[in-house]
Amino acid sequence: MDNRDMKSVSTKQLSIAHTAKKYPQEALTVLHPYMDVHWLWEASLRVRKNSAVGVDNQSYADYEQTKQDRLVALLGKAKDGSYRAPPVKRVYIPKDDGEKRGIGIPTIEDKILQRAVVMLLEPIYEQSFHDFSFGFRPRKSAHQAVQYLREQCFKREVSYILDVDLRQYFDTIDHGHLREILSQRVGDGVLGRLINKWLKAGVWEEGTVHYPEAGSPQGGVISPLLSNIYLHTVLDDWFVKDIQPHLKGKSFMVRFADDFVMGFANKSDAESMLEALKARFAAYGLQVHPQKTQLVQFKRPQRDPNDNGPKPETFDFLGFTHYWGKSQQGNRVFKSKTSRKRVRRTLKNIKEWGLKNRHLALKEQQEEINSKLQGHYSYYGISNNSASLGQVFHVVKHLWRKWLGRRIRDGPMNWQRFNQLLVNYPLIPPRIVHRYS
């Protein structure tokens, strides 16, 4: 395969997008002919090479040895209906609140086919997704969502933030409603059959396979897109077309996957919205988390020091705590800092790694700690967040000195000695990566 094949894929996607734009209210019935061996080859290149193995214990390297022949066979099975979606392996990872989140690991071949279908569907739905939806979309990011939030809090003059949490969203998507929503834009029988098979694919866990009756395909690359399509209809379009025109004051919404907040100038609008959300979601098999959903007073404070109005509260969104602070000129400005949960999680991960690996050579320790710090800065290094970044850096330095002090025999690792060591093995200092105006 060469660059011409990849060019043909992008050309085909432009054609699909053009057709979707031309017929915005109709279901597109001829999509699977776009998917050929070149299309599957490009899809395979977008699968992570080091991704975990599924129930067949086959790695990407194993699959690549006979990839061309296997892709030809896969294409045939996908189009004639003989493809069988294998069960998805489920593993668990810890969450910030101490609970565990189950994630699914499909087989390599399943990942390739799902990616191929995503490449067909994205040009259709990118035509209709709203600008305030940022999760798992091409050329969209969490940092763009935070910037959008900042801008809206200024422009819309909001006084209240409705911070909504959906309980187990990805596990509770109703399959019947999802099929109905998809049928409004996708009428291709091959794609519909494949998606239905992924919805019905079992989940393998400790040697046993069970079949969930709700939820998006576990761990599959198609899961985020299907989830976005579901919430686009259930929430986004409904809010824009049926709710906003009837509100008393200004409002906005920003969403990243199932994580979203709404802003309102009028308190009664916010309270009514919460009740409407509960009813709307219940009709589609979803539930607003009663403990984690909150209405926050977030009116921008006046510059007048004699202003005795209520002080604005804070709220968390996408790993940041958002609040009204002061600029160097004394103006009230929107600011964000790393949430306490995320700070604790980062420090816990680094501490656990250090306790297990303090026997490593200094150079190895330094490189791994710097890698973890760099990862933290890459996401949380935003404007006005220097203090939080500095806190993490300061604690990590203390932890490293403590680990080294437990392994040396020729005297204590005091700060003088540790600072001399840092000359040759420096840690990456805090840095701002994302600058917001």
Q: How many CB atoms lie within 10 A of CB 100?
A: 11
Lowest mean pLDDT segment, chosen from 70-74, 145-149, 207-211 = 207-211
- Give the orientation angle of helix 362-380 with respect to helix 340-357, to 10 degrees: 170
Instruction: Quick: pLDDT tens for 272-320.
Output: 999 999 999 999 999 999 999 999 999 998 766 666 667 899 999 999 9
Res 98 pLDDT > 70: no
Residue 174: HSE in the Cβ half-sphere, 13 Å Cα cutoff: 14
Can you read off the two tokens belonging to residue 9? 């894929």
Integer Cα distance of 416 and 230 in angstroms: 58
Straight-line distance from the first to the last Cα atom of the chain, in angstroms, rounded to the nearest whole number: 44
Give per-residue pLDDT as tens, 109-152. 999 999 999 999 999 999 999 999 999 999 999 999 999 999 99
Least confident of 53-62, 203-212, 241-250, 365-374: 203-212
Mean pLDDT, rounded, for 173-191: 97
Mean pLDDT of the chain: 92
CA distance 192 to 29: 10
Residue 360 has pLDDT above 80, yes or no: yes
**Tokens representing residue 130 in the block:** 């709203």
Residue range 165-181: mean pLDDT, rounded: 95
Give residue for tokens 């420090």: 347
Task: Tell me the average pLDDT across 36-40.
Answer: 96
Longest dimension (CA), the chain: 77
Sheet of strand 88-94, all strands in order from the earlier edge strand to the far edge: 100-105, 88-94, 203-205, 208-210
Q: Are 215 and 170 in contact (CB under 8 A)?
A: yes
Residue 403 to residue 423: CA distance in whole angstroms: 18
pLDDT of 309: 66
Quick check: 101 pLDDT over 90?
no
Which residue in the block uniquely carries the two structure tokens 């204590």?
412
The model carries a pTM of 0.91
| 212's tokens | 């969930």
Which pLDDT score is estimated for 310?
A: 75
Pairing type for strands 88-94 and 203-205 reads parallel
H or E stretch including 110?
A: helix 108-125
Distance CA 281, CA 260 (A): 14
334 beta partners: 324
The confidence band for 216, taking pLDDT boundaries of 50, 70 and 90, is confident
- Which residue type is seen at 404? L
315: β partners:
322
Residue 137 CA to residue 141 CA, distance in Å, equals 8
